[in-house]
Chain A
Amino acid sequence: MKTLALLGLLALASTSAAQNIRIVVVSHGQAADPFWSVAKNGAEEAAKEMGVRVEWRAPDTFDMVRMSQLIDAAVASKPDGLIVTIPDKTALSAAIQRAVKAGIPVVSMNSGSDVAASLGILAHVGQDEYPAGVGAGKRMKALGVTKAVCINQEVGNASLDARCKGFFDGLGSKGDVLPVKIGDPTAIRNAVTAYMQKNPTTNGILTLGPSAAEPVLSALEAGNMLSKVKFGTFDLSTGVLNALSANKMTFAIDQQQWLQGYLPVVLLTNYKRYGLMTASDIIYTGPGFVTPQNAKQVVDLAKKGIR
């Protein structure tokens, strides 16, 4: 009974603030992932500013079937706008097309820049993964890296595969992809230590997210390898920024995911209200490079969940 009352109260609180526009976000990112909590913060801030209601939905694990079902459920609830991520176009195209066919304006974000237009999506807000990887590879090459390893903490996510592929293409040499287990820092740290022991000539490391970057940093520190290895990562966290400020890392690729949450809400609200939409298919939020030179400025924003 008490729970029911509480739920009712919550529902009231959210409807009283919301106007008549309701936007549903279906993302593949796990709510527990620090990266996605920042994107969600962006969407929530946009909702507050625009005076609309945003509902955030994501599967518990990286699960495309579940995500497709979430999109279908969102369509059935007839929202005024739908925001989706498209990490796997084969698995999600049908559900997204059903949404478009039902007359729901759809904006995609984060992943799916290559397919968004063909699915009838109004605009895509995000970063192209492959070119971002190429950028990281070129940067490492310029720093003299000859043999590199790409560390993947979410095997099965096509966007991450594209990053690693771009990275090696940009570097101009083949290298290993080391799969690691998200949520187990000791296993990640020791996996890197083991890899470096087996491949001592490796002089470049790329991680695909902060949850892997921090244990890797700890491994490099413990093994006194910071000076001989160039180390870059995708995405920011306080730990990554501190490491950059202290010159322990070479770069972090920032895709400004806060904007990936924020902008689609703004776009859809104005589309719904005034029929306005940007003319470019893709609005790029990245890649931007954060380096030891500019890291300090970003530290405070990261603490607030914006970078």
Chain B
Amino acid sequence: MTARTAAPDERLAPRSPWQRLLSRPEFGALAGLLLVFVIFTLAAGRSGFLSLSGTVNYLEVAAQVGIVAVFVGLLMIGGEFDLSVGSMLGAAGIVLALLIHPDHGHLPLIVAIPITFAVAAAIGWLNGWLVLRTGLPSFIVTLAMLFVLRGASLGFTKLITKLTLVQGIDDQVNTPLGHAFSGNLLGVPASVWWWLLLTAVMAVVLNTTRFGNWVFAVGGDANAARNVGVPVRRVKTILFMLTAMAATLVAIIQVTKYGSADVLRGTQLELNTVAAAVIGGCLLTGGYGSVIGASIGALILGMVQQGIIYTSVDSDWFQVMVGAMILGAVILNNALRSRAMLLRRKK
């Protein structure tokens, strides 16, 4: 802020590391995270929130939102929505569980997992195809898919098993491959590692590759992007496919971890992931946002949801607290971001 220089082109002006940090899209989310963390440290630090197991506890809950939020965030930057991720998670879990169940598919995990991913990719592709073909908002198309997938999982599962829960696959998932999804590494659940890995990889993809540029371009202005030769349809379809596959990864983690699948899994995931992306600075209108921000948003959600249990707040008021803290984090995020933008312009 004090390092003012009279550079002729403001975009080339050197900025202090502090300023560069301030103008990052994820900075506001980071501040929100800090705020939430401080609140819980003060309110519940002594009852286990700060302990190692308390930390792993909220990280694991955050990871399962975060794995999907990274891709929902990318899709939002690309200008589209996916409301079907929650149903996708439920459906993928059922598909996998039926494929490996000794009374049904009886396939080994190593065969069933690629098939499940292929089913998810096909559904993601269908989402993309429908959006681009009909020109309808993706909000509507994927909303329809939300119902179709949830209903189909229910219908098929009951038709095949007479129940809505697929169980009895413990032996099938208790394998080295299963542990890659359900196990622990250095005391941290595999889902958290998957989340960190995907966040890192996709952050690099978004910020440093041509594909990443295309994502920003199609979300900012699809027509302009098409005019300069960006394959808009391909980019959007790939984003839809990746989102569906991310929900499937979480489904695989849940099936291998709990040895069961039920058709209600993933309920409300679509809202939580959009919330995470928005808390993390992704714009609902597309063209702006960050992968790391979406992951921080998921971390805030997980921290608030689990942190409340360590406080002495009466459980009847849990959801009010969750809502209030999310709102607080977003307001802080926005205030900091607009301040950062202002500083940028002033230079």
Contacts and interface: CB of A to CB of B under 8 A. Distances in A.
A179 B315 contact: yes
A185 B161 CA distance: 21
Contact of B309 (A38, A177, A181, A191): A191
Contacts of A80: none
Contacts of B305: 187
Contacts of B53: 193, 197
Interface in B33-56: 44, 47-48, 51, 53-54
Interface string B154-173: 10001001111101100000
A169 interface: no
Given A197-B310, A198-B310, A34 B265 contact: no
Given A177-B315, A183-B265, A183-B267, A194 B162 contact: no
A101 interface: no
Contacts of A182: 264, 267
A133 interface: no
Nearest to A217: B258
B57 interface: yes
Interface residues of B, number: 42
Given A184-B265, A185-B265, A197-B310, A218 B154 contact: no
Interface in A281-304: 303-304
A194 B163 contact: no
Interface residues of A, number: 37
Given A187-B61, A187-B305, A32 B162 contact: no
B48 A198 contact: yes
B323 to A, nearest CB: 14
Given A193-B57, A198-B48, A179 B154 contact: no
A144 B270 CA distance: 43
A305 B163 CA distance: 6
Nearest to B307: A194
A179 B310 contact: no
Interface stretch (A6-14, A117-125, A208-216): A208-216
Nearest to A34: B165
B164 A239 contact: no
A190 interface: yes
A33 B90 CA distance: 13
B310 A210 contact: no
B158 A37 contact: yes
Q: Which of A182, A184, A198, A218 has the most CB of B within 10 A?
A: A184
Interface string B267-289: 11000000000000000000000
Contacts of B92: none
A110 interface: no
Interface in B224-272: 254, 257-260, 262-268
Contact of A181 (B54, B268, B315): B268
A32 B268 CA distance: 15
Nearest to B150: A32
A186 B254 contact: yes
Contacts of A38: 163
Nearest to B269: A184
A185 B189 CA distance: 15
Contact of A31 (B47, B64, B154, B259): B154
Contacts of A184: 265-268
A186 B190 CA distance: 13
Contacts, number: 108
B179 to A, nearest CB: 14
A146 interface: no
Nearest to A190: B57
Contact of A190 (B163, B259, B262, B306): B306
Given A183-B264, A195-B309, A32 B48 contact: no
A178 interface: yes
Interface string B324-335: 000000000000
B154 A32 contact: yes
A198 B318 contact: no
A176 B315 contact: yes
Interface in B189-224: 191
A197 B164 contact: no
B60 interface: yes
A247 interface: no
Given A32-B262, A37-B158, A184-B265, A194 B164 contact: no
Interface string A212-248: 0011001000000000000000000111000000000
A32 B162 CA distance: 11
Contacts of A194: 48, 54, 57, 306, 309-310
Nearest to A218: B258
Contact of A238 (B51, B90, B154, B167): B167
A261 to B, nearest CB: 13
Contacts of A210: 165
12 contacts: A31-B158, A179-B316, A182-B264, A184-B266, A187-B61, A187-B305, A190-B57, A190-B60, A197-B47, A239-B165, A305-B162, A305-B163
Given A183-B266, A187-B61, A303-B168, 4 more contacts: A32-B263, A37-B158, A190-B57, A191-B309
Interface of B: 44, 47-48, 51, 53-54, 57-58, 60-61, 64, 90, 150, 154, 158, 161-165, 167-168, 191, 254, 257-260, 262-268, 305-306, 309-310, 315-316, 318
Per CB-CB distance, the 8 closest pairs between chain A and chain B, nearest first, are: A197-B48, A183-B264, A305-B162, A183-B267, A194-B309, A34-B165, A198-B47, A238-B167
